[in-house]
Amino acid sequence: MRLTVSADAVRLTIPALALTLLLAAVFWLQPRAMSYIGLNLLFNLAVPIALATIAQMLIMAVNDLDLSMGSFVSFVACVAATFLRDAPLVGTLILAGVVIVYSVLGIVIHLRNLPSIVVSLGMSFVWAGLAVLLLPAPGGQAPDWVRALMTMKPPIAPMAIVASIAIAILAHLIVMRSSLGVVIRGVGGNERSVERAGWSVLATRAGAYGLAGIFAVLAGIALVGLTTSADANIALRYTLLSIAGVILGGGEFIGGRVSPVGAVIGALTLTLAGSFLSFLRISPDWQIGAQGAILIVVLALRLLLNRIESGETGR
C-alpha cells in the first residue's frame, strides 16, 4: 500500500517541485506577480496548452504520437474565430466533424498498422492548409461567450488556475478512474492482453483519438478566447510543447504510462518557464534554448529520482 503511494508520488514530485521552484523564483524576481491579476497573467496561456497536453497524452497512452497537434489547434482556433462566431451551427458541425476525423485517423492507423508519426505529420499539413484557407491573414474574432468564459473572474483564484484544476480533475477522472481510461492505458501497456480479454483494440484506439480530438478542439477554442483573434500559425509550437508537457509531467513515450495531473502541471511549468526567462531579461534569442535547458534539468532530476527509488525497492 505504501509502496504504490510513493511510486505514484515520485512521478508527480518532480513536476510539482519544478513548478513550485519556478513560481518561487518568479515571485522573488517580480513580487507584484503574487496577486490575483498577476497569477492570471502568468498562467493565462497555460490553459490551452494544458488542454493540448491532455490531448497529446491520450494519444501517447496508446503508444502513438501526434505531430499535428499544433496545426490542428491552429485550425480549430481559426474555425472558432470565424464560423463559430458567425454561424454557430456550421462551426459546431465543423468541430464535431474534425473530432470524428480524429477517431477515423485512429482507426486507419490501427487497421493499416501505420506509424502514427507519419500519419499525423501528413495531417499537420492538411490542417495547416485548411487553416490558411479559412484565415489567409490574421483576423477573425472570438465568439463572445468564449471571450466571457476565458476572462471570467472567479472569487477565490484566478480563472487560469481554476480552469487548470478543472482540466486536471476531468482528465484524471477520464484517464485514471474510468473503465475506458483503463482500457486505453491497457492498450498502451500490452495490446495483446487487452485483445485476449475480448476488448476491441480498434474501438479503444478510436476512442482515445476521439477524446484527444475533443480536448484539442477545446484547446483551440480556449486559445481564441484569450487572444480574441486567430491566425493560421497561432499554435504551431503546441506540438512540441504538448509532448514536452506530457514527458515533464511524468509520462513516457511508450508503455501507456501517463499522468493527467502531471501533464497539466507540466504545461503550467512550461508556460511559467517562458515568463521566468523574460523576468530574467534573457533575450528572446536565447529563450528557447534556456527553456530546453530547464526541460533537461527537470528530466535529469526525474531520472535520478527513479534510480534512487528503484535502488531502494530492489533491496
Check: CB of residue 201 under 8 Å from CB of residue 187. yes
Under the binding rule (CB under 8 A), the answer on residue 1 touching another protein is yes
33 vs 176 by CB, closer to another protein: 176
Under the binding rule (CB under 8 A), the answer on residue 313 touching another protein is yes
Tell me, rounded to whole angstroms, the distance of Cα 189 from its chain centroid: 21
Per CB under 8 A, contacts with another protein among 63-92 are none
Phi, psi (deg, nearest 5) at residue 139: 170, -150
Query: What is the C-alpha separation between 242 and 69, in angstroms, rounded?
Result: 8
Residue 32 CB coordination number (10 Å):
8
Q: Which of 36, 141, 189, 237 binds another protein (CB under 8 A)?
A: 189
Tell me, rounded to whole angstroms, the distance of Cα 152 from its chain centroid: 22
Per CB under 8 A, contacts with another protein among 210-269 are 255-257
Query: What is the C-alpha separation between 22 and 11, in angstroms, rounded?
Result: 18
CB of 265 to another protein, least distance (A): 20
- Interface segment toward another protein; rule CB under 8 A; list 152-160, 182-190, 212-220, 222-230: 182-190
Q: Which of 185, 230, 244, 276 binds another protein (CB under 8 A)?
A: 185
Under the binding rule (CB under 8 A), the answer on residue 197 touching another protein is yes
76 vs 175 by CB, closer to another protein: 175
From residue 32, how far is each of 6, 35, 36, 37, 42 by CA, in Å? 36, 6, 10, 9, 11
Lookup: cell for 307: 534510480
100 vs 254 by CB, closer to another protein: 254
Taking residues 4 to 33 in sequence order and writing x for each that binds another protein by CB under 8 A, - otherwise, the string is x--x--------------------------
20 vs 190 by CB, closer to another protein: 190
Instruction: Residue 127: name the closest of 71, 76, 82 by CA.
Output: 71
Helices (H), the chain: 2-29, 36-43, 46-61, 69-81, 83-86, 88-111, 116-134, 144-150, 159-172, 179-189, 191-196, 201-227, 238-248, 260-279, 284-314
101 vs 195 by CB, closer to another protein: 195
Q: Which of 32, 112, 281, 315 binds another protein (CB under 8 A)?
A: 315
- Where does this chain bind another protein (CB under 8 A)? 1, 3-4, 7, 177, 179, 182-183, 185-186, 188-190, 192-199, 255-257, 313-315
